[in-house]
Chain A
Amino acid sequence: MPRQDRNPRRLLGILMMLLFFGFALLPIAWALILSFRPASHLFEPIWQSPTMLTLENFRSLLRSDFPHALLNSLVTAGTSTVLAMLIGVPGGFALAKGRSQKRFIASWALLLLRMAPPVGFVIPLFLIYLNIGLLDTWLGLIAAYMVLTLPLVVWSSWTSLAQIPDELIEASLLDGASLFQSLVKVVIPAARPGLIATGVLAFLIAWNDFFFALIITRGNTVTAPVSVMNFVSYASVDWGSIALASVVLTLPTLPVIIFANKYIVQSMGGAVKG
């Protein structure tokens, strides 16, 4: 490698990275600061009263329905992810190793489903749920999240599983395993990083949903993103609690994404191997 370490260009590059770093993290730092600020000092510069910090926002969060909503979010996003993986991964496998004429149509159909605008989707969904009593139930929410997660899981596991060499599968089939056994015993372990990434992305999509939950839940199964909006009341907007709730909403997915990002990179590698 040529020696360019002291090169001013490299310095410029590091400066650029620092700028991006600031852009990425300062808004989060701001949310963290708001979470610990008392209502009376929320919007004055932090350097004017750096010691005015409080845990009051935690108390108001605990008093609200937010913990309950967090549980709803965990259950519904988690279950729909697991179900979508159970159903979607074999589907992705079939597409990855099946005849190639199907692939184009399948990938287009999957993308289309990912793209369907929720505003158009949610009214028919609401009317169906109304008639079969699925409104405000975990089951209804999980089913709705399958709409979001399943196409993603099929698409993403398809690209991951396509990278598994055919020889591996053929070898296990020769050993007398069924196709399904070889999927479970050979293919899935080999494609683990990609599948982990797929699961993480699917969970994120369901976890972040706002619109579906807004329309098809009520008090019993309200999810955390919707419950955040309940801190906006007419008498006041509880910015401290909103900021804290946002931070809390980010926490469960944060370690996952930080540690799983290398798997995500690996699995996306399948989609863009160039």
Chain B
Amino acid sequence: MLLPAVLAVGIFAIIPLIGMFALSLTDFHLIKKWDQDIGFHNFVKLYNNKRFIASVEVMLLLSVFGVFFQVVMGTLIAVGLEKIIPRWRFMRGIFVVPFVVPAVAVALIWLSLLTPTLSPINDFFELFNITVPPFLTTQYGAITAIVIADTWASYPFVMLLILAALQGISSDLDEAAALDGATKIQIFFKITLPLLIPALLMVALFRFIETLKHFPLIYIMTKGGPGRSTQATNYFAYIQTFQNSNVSYGAAIAVFLFLFAAIISFFVARANARINDA
């Protein structure tokens, strides 16, 4: 029964993947002539490219902070839904809504919200003579802006997973602790949170790998700016491939990203195998 799936994955996914690796070893350029030069020169070039190193830093900043806020916010909302307003079940559906807004729309909505001359947020604070600092024109502001937009779109994923994990935790423990006189806050930190750790780890790793692929947010909100300060690695690969026509160099960057994600997914897979075999 596995065979159809293996075949389909092979045809639809493995072939382009092999193509990606093959391209990364060539010097295929859309405009320049073909040199038939095959080898690892693109990777050597990458290793010595300051812009590439900088792009990895930006990528890590975006991923680490993005995942941190998504996980914190998703967890707080899940716990809040379960423990603070357990009777308002319809709120669950409402909190999921940003999850279904397509990435292109997320980027466009947040672009208009973070452009001071267009934003209702700025208009609102103007009423009280407060000036909201411009986000998209400083390096860390622009990174913050992307992190905010990504957090908005992705916290529901964390929330859903943590809700699931919370429902797997028996309420007997809570009740026993409550009888011993523990406050709800104590119960949360001493009992619930430790039990959530496997789920938290799993969802954080999942989200981390997804954030490595950031594209529409950067492409629409900052174009990689100000300067180059939001050119994360995936966007840098896009620039090399489409703007500079250097397809093989772009493919080499994609291979790097793929290998990087491979290492992280190794840990996800191991965590998953343990949980499933437990």
Q: Do A and B interact directly, with beta carbons closer than 8 Å? A: yes
| Contact yes or no, A150 B185, CB < 8 A | no
CB B190 to nearest CB in A, in angstroms, measures: 15
Which of B19, B84, B183, B234 meets A119, CB within 8 Å?
B234
In whole Å, how far is B82's beta carbon from the nearest beta carbon of chain A? Answer: 11
User: Which residues does chain B contribute within 8 Å of A224, judged by CB atoms?
Assistant: 102
**Cβ contact within 8 Å between A23 and B84:** no
A210 touches B216 (CB 8 A): yes
- Closest Cβ neighbor of A105 among chain B residues: B269
* Interface-located stretch among B8-16, B41-49, B130-138: B8-16
| Interchain CB contact under 8 A, A17 and B84 | yes
What range describes how many residues of B lie at the interface? 35 or more
Distance, CA A43 to CA B119, complexed state (A): 7
CA distance A179 to B1 in the complex (A): 9
B209 at the interface (CB under 8 A from A): yes
Chain A residues whose CB sits within 8 angstroms of the CB of B100 once the complex forms: 204, 250, 253-254, 257
Residues of B within 8 A of A128 (CB): 15-16, 19
Q: Give the complex CA separation of A259 and B92 in angstroms.
A: 10
Q: Tell me the minimal C-beta distance from B63 to chain A in angstroms.
A: 13
Query: Which positions 114-155 of chain A face chain B at CB distance < 8 Å?
Result: 114-125, 127-128, 143-144, 146-147, 150-151, 154
Question: What does the 1/0 interface line of A220-232 toward B look like (CB < 8 Å)?
Answer: 0000110011000
CA distance A258 to B93 in the complex (A): 4
Chain B residues with CB under 8 Å of A90's CB are 1-2, 4-5
8 Å CB contacts to A: which residues of B170-228?
A: 175, 178, 183-185, 195-196, 198-199, 202-203, 209, 212-213, 215-216
Which residues of chain B come closer than 8 Å to A23, judged between CB atoms?
152
Q: How far is the CA of A90 from the CA of B183 in the complex (A)?
A: 47
Task: Determine the chain A residues whose CB is within 8 A of the CB of B76 once the complex forms.
Answer: 16, 20
Is B101 among interface residues, defined by CB-CB distance under 8 A?
A: yes
Contacts known (A272-B161, A273-B275); A112 close to B102, Cβ less than 8 A: no
**How does the 8 Å CB contact mask read for B1-45 relative to A, with 1 for contact and 0 for none?**
110111011001101111110111000000000000000000000
Contact B5 A91 (CB under 8 A): yes
Measured between beta carbons, the chain A residues less than 8 angstroms from B123 are 44-45
Alpha-carbon distance between A225 and B80 when the two chains are bound, in angstroms? 33
Interfacial chain A residues near B113, Cβ < 8 Å = 27, 30
- Segment among A58-66, A93-101, A164-172 that sits at the interface with chain B: A93-101
Contacts A123-B19, A272-B275, A273-B168: A117 and B213 contacting too (C-beta < 8 A)? yes
Q: Is B53 an interface residue (CB 8 A)?
A: no
B196 — which chain A residues lie within 8 A by C-beta? 274
In the complex, which of the residues B85, B99, B104, B254 contacts A120, with contact meaning CB atoms closer than 8 Å? B254
Within 8 A of B (CB), among A1-50: 1-2, 4, 9-10, 13-14, 16-17, 20-21, 23-25, 27-28, 30-31, 33-34, 42-46
Tell me the nearest residue of chain B to A207, going by C-beta. Answer: B102
A159 on the interface (CB 8 Å rule)? yes
CB–CB B97/A150 < 8 A: no
Residues of B within 8 A of A93 (CB): 1
Q: Would you call the interface of chain B mostly helix, strand, loop, or mixed?
A: helix
A246 touches B109 (CB 8 A): yes
Contact A119 B254 (CB under 8 A): yes
Once A1-B178, A14-B84 are accepted as A-B contacts, the answer to whether A123 and B241 lie under 8 Å apart by CB is yes
How far apart are the CA atoms of A208 and B101 in the complex, in Å? 8
B128 at the interface (CB under 8 A from A): no
Which residues of chain A from 68 to 105 have a CB within 8 Å of any chain B CB? 87-88, 90-95, 98, 100, 103-104
CA distance A44 to B118 in the complex (A): 8
Interface presence of A202 (CB below 8 A): no
Query: Given the complex, which residues of A lie within 8 Å of B4, measured CB to CB?
Result: 87, 90-91
Interface centre among B83, B112, B185 (most CB of A within 10 A): B112
Which residues 145-203 in A have Cβ within 8 Å of B in the complex?
146-147, 150-151, 154, 159, 162, 179-180, 183
A253 to B97, CA, bound (A): 9
Instruction: List 17 A-B pairs, Cβ < 8 Å.
Output: A2-B184, A46-B120, A88-B5, A98-B2, A103-B276, A104-B270, A108-B265, A117-B261, A119-B250, A143-B12, A146-B13, A147-B12, A150-B12, A159-B276, A162-B276, A210-B104, A225-B104
| Contacts from B to A (Cβ < 8 Å) | 1-2, 4-6, 8-9, 12-13, 15-20, 22-24, 73, 76-77, 80-81, 83-85, 91-105, 108-110, 112-113, 117-118, 120, 123-124, 152, 160-161, 163-165, 167-169, 175, 178, 183-185, 195-196, 198-199, 202-203, 209, 212-213, 215-216, 234, 237-238, 241, 247, 250-251, 253-255, 257-258, 261-262, 265-266, 268-270, 272-273, 275-277
**Contacts A14-B85, A87-B4 given; 5 further ones with Cβ under 8 A?**
A16-B80, A114-B265, A121-B254, A124-B17, A249-B101
Interface pairs A-B: 6 shortest CB-CB: A120-B254, A124-B19, A91-B5, A246-B105, A258-B93, A111-B265
